[in-house]
Amino acid sequence: MSASDPPDPGRVRAWLQDLQGRICAGLEAVDGQARFVPDREDRGEAGLSDPRVLEDGPVIERAAVNFTHSRGAGLPEAATQRHPQLAGLPFEAVSLSLIVHPRNPYAPTTHANFRCFVAGAPGEPAAWWVGGGFDLTPYYGFDEDTVAWHRAARAACTPSGPGVHADLKARCDAYFHLDHRNEQRGVGGIFFDDWTEGGWTASLGLLQRVGEAFWPAYRPILVARSAMPYGESQRRWQLIRRGRYVEFNLIQDRGTRYGLQSGRRIEAVLGSMPPAVAWAYQHQPTPGSPEAELLSRYLVPRDWLADGV
């Protein structure tokens, strides 16, 4: 850490709380009826938990936009697997994590997370990093949505260097892979963790550009696809595919494990789960169907911007 460019989790907290409010307001405006219910818990020196959940709207079946500021005497195991040297050290973590489960099967689920960690013993140089990203999980694929999504991700990364977007896209494809099923969770986006490139100011700049790009990228997709008519067969497919999201979160997701291990409220940690889901034994879509096309065309890593768009 450079003494002239120290980490500032307080600055991240102020920005993330403002971003939380703007994203919640945007989702409420799109839904038109449902409202977020706050469940704020001020823990004093231990930090702040501010989960907000919207449920049972005409457009959004469930959305969770959760802000957390944690301080503790020692990092949970999920946060030290890649940094064992930090085990047991005091830490401060600030994060905003969100998931949106639309009602219409043609509208994709989305997830985003923006966070920073600072850890170290008093009087010693602090270790810090930022991380986050956003990804898209459609149930029916649309080229125009997928290209627009990746274009927004690329624009957020470009000021950080010519190879950053390709790197973060590859990280996203690798992270959101269901190992036990050998399939992608969605069409990806960008993902980064343990990011310190260029120092604190440059790293925070990347985090903030990614955070500010999320809602402008997702809103037009949500609005357009939520207006499409659908039937019971499309709803059934949506519920089956939502099962993959649940499997990933409970089996592989580091953020979920961190939340459970750090003593956060279970309702807040699991509030992002879809309200309705289904599992069908050995279910396979009809060959040539839109459902089959999702698996063969969209749920495979590819460069959606290869044609220079």
The residues annotated with a catalytic role in the active site are 111
Six-digit token pair at 254? 């580091």
- Cα–Cα–Cα angle for 274, 167, 294, nearest 5°? 40
H or E element at residue 23: helix 9-31
- Cα–Cα–Cα angle for 275, 278, 281, nearest 5°? 165
CB-hemisphere CA count at 13 Å for 159?
12
H or E element at residue 40: none
Q: Cα–Cα distance between 96 and 138 in angstroms, integer?
A: 22
- What's the one-letter identity of residue 42? D
Residues 6+ positions from 117 with CB-CB distance below 8 Å? 75, 79, 91, 92, 93, 128, 129, 130, 131
Beta strands in 73-171 (DSSP E): 91-102, 109-119, 127-137
Q: Cα–Cα distance between 22 and 77 in angstroms, integer?
A: 32
Q: Answer yes or no: are the C-beta atoms of 60 and 54 closer than 8 Å.
A: yes
Task: Name the DSSP class of 154.
Answer: H
Residues 6+ positions from 293 with CB-CB distance below 8 Å? 141
Gyration radius from the chain CA atoms = 19
Kindly write down the DSSP assignment for every residue of 67-79, as one continuous string. EEEEEESS--HHH
